[in-house]
Amino acid sequence: MLIAAIPQCGFGFPDKRCAPPVGSLPVTATELGYWECDVDGSWAPYAWPTCSILEQAFCQHWAAAEFVERGAPYRVEFEGHLPDEAQAAVQVNTRTSARRKVRRWPSLWHRSCVLKRQQEQEQAVWAAWTEADFAWSLLDPNEFTAASTGSLKPKCATPNRRGYSLGAGCTFADGCWPSLLRTWPATSLSAAEHPLGSRCSFALQSLSGFTAGSERELEWTLLQATWRAGGVPSELVGAYRIQNRGLMHTFAALRQAMLARLACEEDFCDGASHEGNLKVQLLWHGTRSISGLLDICSDGFDRAHAQTCMYGKGCYFASSATYSDRYACSVKIPGFPQRNLRAMLLGAVLVGETVKGSQNMYPPPVKPHSRNGERYENACDNVEKPAVFVTFKDGQALPIYVMVYELKS
């Protein structure tokens, strides 16, 4: 039950404690104003007769109104103007001193118009981030929900394009690299931007069907072919190319070091070079969260995060995208609320001589045909026909694309 705290006044106004302030609020109501209170981040409307008490106090230029609701005494103090003709106030529990924000709109219709306009402005800001080809726009479902309600906003209205240079010698032009990597540019890159300010220490390029007809058309065509070969019965709707300067240099250098060890004929019992066993394979990797994807793009694959180590304590990759889909994450893109999108990583992985792995194996065993006690470069599930590969060295795998796809209903 709600009653006026000062009944002799008729509307709950104390005689002197709430004297009108200098420059009191103007009377703006042409109908009953719409009053609402911020309750844990959500605006809840006041019910009658509380709203009537507040409205009459406001329109008669009082500085505050008092009322009792559910046995608790409250005082609403009128503070001043807000944008869009709204008025600010604060609700104080006079027993506990707890405070909550309050605002008044001239009418419910007025509030609806203002909030619709604000929502359109927020959507325009998110659209600027989504449409930029160098900006990250994947959100996890919780972030997306917060963005949809307006409680989570981009750090600025538009992403800031910043130059990103790979440095000398960091290219994949040689024929030893997969054709997909040979399409990569080495100059005129843009540093990645994240709408929420998360760390993106890499260059990024978004690709999709709209890439057709551009200089990136061949890259998108090869990506689609790679996706179809992965076996997931889903549409590839887009991808992010990830060019991380530090990771790329480390990856290329490790390939040269592995190649040097495998090419030395006198180091093997058969007296032959084994460099032909080293290949750069495009393999799949699923991770459960958007934050996990970002961490890998920024810092690379980290074997310390491995949890289920059936074939060794390392980083796991699959030859089938269908296998990695089990570990992929759900993602949302602002502006496309109904799409059932998921994302996984495509990695370039150094695969050399491989041994069948075992649970929690680390390090990999020594090669029986090595005179110097060199260890195997990789473990796998089946040496004859491997479907799962394990790497044990930092930098042995390079994240190259975040693949975004839509599950069929």
pLDDT of residue 316: 96
Query: What is the biggest distance separating any 2 CA atoms in the chain, rounded to whole angstroms?
Result: 107
Q: Following CA atoms 60, 66, 69, 74 in sequence, which dihedral angle do they give, to the nearest 10 degrees? A: 130
Is residue 22 within 8 Å of residue 63, measured between CB atoms? no
Q: At residue 240, what are phi and psi to the nearest 5 degrees?
A: -115, 120
Assign 227 a pLDDT band (cuts: 50, 70, 90): very high
Is residue 219 within 8 Å of residue 207, measured between CB atoms? yes
Calculate what percentage of the chain has a pLDDT beyond 70. Answer: 91
Q: Which pLDDT tens digit goes with each residue over 228-241?
A: 999 999 999 999 99
Closest CA to 327 of 288, 283, 282: 288
Q: Which of 139-143, 268-272, 302-306, 385-389 has the lowest mean pLDDT?
A: 302-306
**Residue 36 pLDDT greater than 90, yes or no:** yes
Q: Are strands 235-243 and 354-356 parallel, antiparallel or unpaired?
A: unpaired
Assign 30 a pLDDT band (cuts: 50, 70, 90): very low
Q: Which of 154-163, 165-174, 226-235 has the lowest mean pLDDT?
A: 165-174
Tokens coding 183: 């399409």
pLDDT of residue 10: 31
Q: At residue 383, what are phi and psi to the nearest 5 degrees?
A: -65, -35
As a whole number, mean pLDDT of residues 384-396 equals: 95
Pick from 75-84, 141-150, 343-352 the range whose average pLDDT is largest.
Answer: 343-352
As a whole number, mean pLDDT of residues 179-191 equals: 92
**Domain 128-406 coded CATH 3.90.228.10:** yes
pLDDT of residue 168: 80
Kindly report the pTM of this predicted structure: 0.80
Assign 14 a pLDDT band (cuts: 50, 70, 90): very low
Assign 16 a pLDDT band (cuts: 50, 70, 90): very low
CA dist 390 → 248, 273, 359 (Å)? 19, 23, 12
Q: How many CA atoms lie within 13 A of 398 on its CB side?
A: 26
Q: At residue 259, what are phi and psi to the nearest 5 degrees?
A: -60, -40
pLDDT of residue 22: 37
As a whole number, mean pLDDT of residues 33-46 equals: 93
Burial class (CB in 10 A: 0-12, 13-18, 19+), 87: buried
pLDDT of residue 3: 30
Is residue 154 within 8 Å of residue 195, measured between CB atoms? yes
Q: Which pLDDT tens digit goes with each residue over 334-387?
A: 888 888 899 999 999 999 999 999 998 999 999 999 999 999 999 999 999 999
For residue 119, the one-letter residue type is Q
Sign of the CA dihedral with 275 first, then 383, 299, and 203 last: positive
As annotated, the residues of the chain forming the CATH 3.90.228.10 domain(s) are 128-406
As a whole number, mean pLDDT of residues 78-98 equals: 94
**Residue 31 pLDDT greater than 80, yes or no:** no
For residue 293, the one-letter residue type is L
Cα 112 to Cα 228: distance, rounded to the nearest angstrom? 47
Q: Which pLDDT tens digit goes with each residue over 170-182?
A: 889 888 899 999 9
**Residue 19 pLDDT greater than 60, yes or no:** no
pLDDT of residue 29: 42
As a whole number, mean pLDDT of residues 180-197 equals: 93
* Pure H helices in 169-324: 179-182, 217-230, 245-263, 290-299, 321-324
More confident residue, 96 or 167: 96
Per the prediction, the chain carries an average pLDDT of 88
Cα 293 to Cα 138: distance, rounded to the nearest angstrom? 10
**Residue 287 pLDDT greater than 60, yes or no:** yes
**Residue 8 pLDDT greater than 90, yes or no:** no
Cα 260 to Cα 257: distance, rounded to the nearest angstrom? 5
Q: Which pLDDT tens digit goes with each residue over 320-338?
A: 999 999 999 999 998 888 8
